[in-house]
Amino acid sequence: MKGRGFSGAGLTALFFATLLVGCATDGEPSKEGTAVSEEGAEGVEVALEALENPCDCFEKGLSRGQLRFCRESKRDVNFLEALRKCGDGEVDGVSAIDKLPGDGQYTMDPKVTVVQWKGQKLGMTETGTISVRSCILSIQNSQLVSGNVVVEMNAIKPTSQEGLAARNLAEHLRSEDFFDVANHPTASFALESGKADGRGGLILDGKLNIKGITQPVSGTLSFSSSDPVVATVGMTFNRADFDVRYGSGTFFDNLGDDMISDEVVLQMALVEDMSLRKGN
């Protein structure tokens, strides 16, 4: 059967959050010379300071008001297009990234945050989900400086199967043949660096830990909202790098129809718990 992807009440909440926030963030940037203020992290009013040339957003040493202007002006399509024509630089990590939140710590809500996985076996696709224990993103000086996702491996389940077949596959994935959940109950991804991809998103480099083995992995991140934070992370890893051997051509010869691809695709839909926001 074909995988059904994200499902259930958690995804419904995600879709509604994304739609509602998308409506809330549309609008025109404040006009030059208009004194608009917002409360800073220390309770100090930060006045918006307009810049005549969008390319000035790429200069170093911008004030908080100017950074705010660059960030908020990205809601205007014309401003964003002008910004992208300025070059390949980054606006202290801000203006090159669509809807990047302001400085602070953002905790994702595990009840609506979802991790989806996908694997292949001779043209047949298996899909499923994994529950999230915790996920925190931190932004400082308008740059994504850290991020950490921890998932509950005991909660891994397929969505491409139903009934007994689904239960049997879930048990097999939790066994020593695959992820040995009894000895390794969690897996995690820790962000080490991120840079603009030139299309409004971020290219991520970090470390993925599965079964107690840590390997470098790259991925992508895009924000669909900044208030609340809603983001999508995608990455692909080689399970053989983490000693997940069952049906792997890396470890066994002559598997024939029983060979399972070593490539596993992960897609994360992250939704913020705004009650836990810090530093904004």
What CATH number does the domain containing 141 carry? 2.40.128.110
- Tell me, yes or no, whether 279 lies in a domain: no
Average confidence (pLDDT) over 262-266: 97
The distance of Cα 219 from the centroid of its chain, to the nearest Å, equals 9
Residues 142 and 94 in one domain: no
Decide which of 98, 122, 150 is a domain's last residue. Answer: 98
Q: Provide the H-helix boundaries in the chain.
A: 8-25, 64-73, 77-84, 163-174
Q: Is residue 4 part of a domain?
A: no
Considering only CA atoms, which of 115, 80, 158, 54 is closest in space to residue 269? 115
Q: How far apart are CA 31 and CA 120, in angstroms?
A: 52
Is-cis flag, bond preceding 110, omega within 30?
no
Q: Which of 44-48, 106-110, 143-147 has the highest mean pLDDT?
A: 106-110
pLDDT, tens digit, 9 for 90 and up, residues 33-63: 333 444 444 456 678 899 888 888 877 788 8
Least Cα distance to 198 among 80, 101, 102, 25 occurs for 80
Asked whether residue 222 falls in the same domain as residue 244, the answer is yes
If asked whether residues 240 and 149 sit together in one domain, one would say: yes
Query: How would residue 175 be classed by pLDDT, with cut points 50, 70 and 90?
Result: very high
> Do residue 85 and residue 129 come from a single domain?
no
pLDDT category of residue 78 using cuts at 50, 70 and 90: confident
Among 131, 130, 128, CA closest to 110: 131
Q: Is the pLDDT of residue 228 over 70?
A: yes
Whether 192 and 209 map to the same domain: the answer is: yes
For residue 191, which phi and psi values (nearest 5 degrees)?
-70, 135
Residue 20 scores a pLDDT above 80: no
List CB contacts of 210: < 8 A, sequence separation 6 or more: 179, 184, 187, 237, 239, 242, 244
Average pLDDT over residues 106-116: 95
45 three-state secondary structure: strand
77 lies in a domain? yes
**261 within some domain:** yes
Which tokens sit at 153?
A: 């491996």
φ/ψ of residue 277, rounded to 5: -65, 140
Which of 98, 125, 145 finishes a domain?
98
Provide CB contacts within 8 A for 176, sequence distance 6+.
182
Within a domain: residue 91?
yes
Answer yes or no: do 121 and 68 share one domain: no
Same domain, 141 and 82: no
Owning domain of residue 43 = 27-98
Residue 12 is assigned to a structural domain of this protein? no
Give the residue-averaged pLDDT of 207-216.
Answer: 98
59, 78, 98 — which closes off a domain? 98
pLDDT at 163: 97
Q: Are residues 42 and 57 in the same domain?
A: yes
Q: How many angstroms separate the first and last alpha carbons of the chain? A: 45
Write down the pLDDT at residue 44: 61
Are 246 and 158 members of one domain?
yes
Among 80-84, 132-136, 176-180, which stretch is predicted with the lowest mean pLDDT? Answer: 80-84
- Look at residue 191 and tell me if it is in a domain: yes
The residue length of the chain stands at 280
Residue written as token pair 């810090």:
278
Q: Is the pLDDT of residue 24 over 60?
A: no
Domain count, the chain: 2
pLDDT, position 3: 36
* Residue 16 placed within a domain: no
Decide if pLDDT at 90 tops 70.
no
Q: What is the mean pLDDT of residues 255-271?
A: 95
Let me know whether 93 and 117 are in one domain: no
Residues 185 and 200 in one domain: yes
Residues 5-9 have a mean pLDDT of 37
Is residue 69 very low, low, confident or very high in pLDDT (cuts 50, 70, 90)? confident
Question: Is the same domain home to 201 and 234?
Answer: yes
Better-scored residue on pLDDT, 166 or 32: 166
